[in-house]
Each structure stands twice: as structure tokens, then as C-alpha cells.
């Protein structure tokens, strides 16, 4: 842990900025988002209070999600209608989660964070099911809400029908609560809800999840802002650094072996998660 009393504000901001670049790269390469590294960086590396770290991570999620979402929408991969429908669940959940976090001991938040982080790392490594017939009849509720859609691929346009809408909506509420408490996008849970529960193609699930992350984070960020847990001095260098890191991470991703990278960084994320849980159990966070 760095002793903040022995460094100047400029030095602290520079170290934070460099760490955020690394966080952005890891987030882009693993698909887990920069928040999963930002929070351990602030709490374990700088001794920042857990709630201030969560507040900074929420602001970061808003910035990174907004930038990436625009590109995916232009490519006509994101299903905006599904995203807006499921956002009703995640937004309510995020506000509830943020309110709960105000009264939850920080060491409990740290333990929960580590648990969710390990789950997210495992989800990023799971094999994607490519044998699903997406053209099978979907949920009647999905038809009524016009949630079915299509997206372009190298082999032509793929059409898909949404299933188990209510189950996906319920999982999204849980994802929103976790996001509000921990300050991360809970992308793994959102993708699980859409990919596994609702049988939406994985590429559409991940891009739609990215589209939703910013709105979910904004809902819970309001609560943290009102309680004074968003510090501009922390948030600004982190947001800029994560955006730069995510840009370079996406470039590396284009020419790298994705499976190997995900394996390496999943191990790194798991180590961070275990450290968070260990410090949480000892009451150091």
C-alpha cells in the first residue's frame, strides 16, 4: 500500500492515471470492465475507503460504456429495445443496491466484491454454445414487446427470437443490485441472463450488456454523489486513464490470442479478488 501522506497530489494523480491505463487494458482484454481493477487498485494499492473507490468505479463505468456502446449501435449488433426494457430492472436494482451499500460494512462489501469477481472471471472463460438454433419460436412476451431481432455476421444476417423474458428480467434486477453495491457493471450476470436464460446470441448479449452498464451505473452513482462518495480528484484521472487503456486494449485484442489473454488476466483478477476477500475478512477494508 502506498503512503499517500508522503507523495504530492501531482505524483498521486500520475500514479493513479498509470494504474487506470492498466485497468482499462485489462478490462478491454477480458471483457470484465475497468472497474474490476480500479477498485482493488484504490483500496489495496492506495488505502482509499471502499465507498469512495466504488463511487470512482461507477463514474468510470459510465464513461467507458458510453464510448463503446455508440460503436456497437452503429454496427447494428446491440439490441437497443432489449436493453431499454431490461434497464427497467437493472436501474431499480442499482438504486436499491446503492442504498443498501450505504449501510453495509465495507469489509462485507469487499468480501462480496471478491466473490462476484471470481464468478465474473469464470464466466469470461466459459465456452460459448454455438449450437443453439436461434430461429426457434420465442417467448410470447418477447413477441408482444417486439424484442426479437437480427444482427449482421460475415455469413449474412442472423435472426434470433427471445425466450424466457420474465426469467431474464428477474436476473437483471439481481445484476442491478450487485452493481449498485459494488460499483461494477455486473456484466457477467447480465450476459448470463441474456445468453443463457433468454437465448440471445452471445455477441448481441455482450454488446447489449455494455450498452446497459452506463445507465445502471448512472442510477446508483446518483446515490453515491448525494452521499458525497464521488471525489472528482479520484474520478478524473481514473476515467481518462481507463479510456486510454481500453483503447489500446481493444487494439491488442484484434491481433492477440484471445483465449490465452483471457486465461492470464482471469488468473490476475482472481488473485485480486482473493486479496480483497482476505482483507475484508481481516477487517482491513
78 close to 69: Cβ distance less than 8 angstroms: yes
The domain of 229 spans 4-281
Q: What is the pTM of this model?
A: 0.79
C-alpha 37, offset from chain centre: 11
For the segment 223-262, what is each residue's pLDDT rounded down to a tens digit?
888 889 998 888 888 888 888 887 777 666 556 665 676 6
pLDDT value at residue 85:
92
Compute the mean pLDDT over every residue in the chain, rounded to the nearest whole number.
Answer: 81
Rounded percentage of the chain residues whose pLDDT exceeds 90: 8
Q: Please determine, for residue 187, whether its predicted confidence score (pLDDT) is greater than 70.
A: no
Q: Is 282 exposed, middle or buried (0-12, 13-18, 19+ CB in 10 A)?
A: exposed
Q: Which residue has the higher pLDDT, 130 or 273?
A: 273
- Which of 54, 43, 3 has the alpha carbon at shortest distance from 19? 43
Please count the structural domains in the chain. Answer: 1
- Inter-CA distances, 100 with 94, 106, 181, Å: 10, 11, 7
Each residue of 11-32: pLDDT tens digit? Answer: 888 888 888 888 777 766 665 6
Amino acid at each position: 500500500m502506498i503512503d499517500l501522506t508522503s507523495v504530492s497530489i501531482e505524483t498521486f494523480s500520475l500514479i493513479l492515471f498509470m494504474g487506470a491505463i492498466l485497468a482499462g487494458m485489462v478490462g478491454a482484454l477480458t471483457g470484465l470492465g475497468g472497474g474490476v481493477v480500479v477498485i482493488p487498485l484504490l483500496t489495496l494499492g492506495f488505502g482509499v475507503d471502499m465507498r469512495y473507490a466504488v463511487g470512482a468505479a461507477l463514474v468510470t463505468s459510465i464513461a467507458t460504456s458510453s464510448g463503446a456502446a455508440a460503436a456497437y449501435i452503429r454496427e447494428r449488433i446491440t439490441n437497443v429495445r432489449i436493453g431499454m426494457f431490461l434497464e427497467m430492472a437493472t436501474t431499480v436494482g442499482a438504486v436499491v443496491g446503492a442504498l443498501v451499500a450505504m449501510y453495509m460494512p465495507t469489509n462485507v462489501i469487499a468480501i462480496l466484491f471478491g466473490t462476484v469477481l471470481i464468478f465474473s472471471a469464470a464466466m469470461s472463460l466459459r465456452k460459448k454454445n454455438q449450437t443453439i438454433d436461434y430461429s426457434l419460436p420465442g417467448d410470447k412476451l418477447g413477441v408482444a414487446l417486439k424484442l426479437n431481432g437480427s444482427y449482421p455476421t460475415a455469413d449474412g444476417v442472423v435472426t434470433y427470437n427471445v425466450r424466457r423474458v420474465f426469467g431474464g428480467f428477474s436476473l437483471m434486477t439481481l445484476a442491478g443490485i450487485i452493481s449498485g453495491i459494488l460499483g461494477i457493471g455486473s456484466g457477467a450476470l447480465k450476459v448470463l441472463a441474456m445468453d443463457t436464460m433468454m437465448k440471445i446470441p452471445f455477441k448481441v448479449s455482450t454488446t447489449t450488456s455494455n450498452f446497459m452498464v452506463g445507465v445502471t451505473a448512472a442510477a446508483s452513482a446518483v446515490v453515491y454523489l448525494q452521499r458525497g462518495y464521488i471525489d472528482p480528484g479520484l474520478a478524473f484521472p481514473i476515467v481518462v486513464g481507463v479510456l486510454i487503456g481500453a483503447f489500446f486494449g481493444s487494439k491488442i485484442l484484434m491481433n492477440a490470442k484471445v483465449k490465452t489473454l483471457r486465461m492470464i488476466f482471469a488468473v490476475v483478477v482472481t488473485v485480486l479478488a482473493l486479496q480483497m476477500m482476505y482483507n475484508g475478512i481481516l477487517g482491513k477494508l
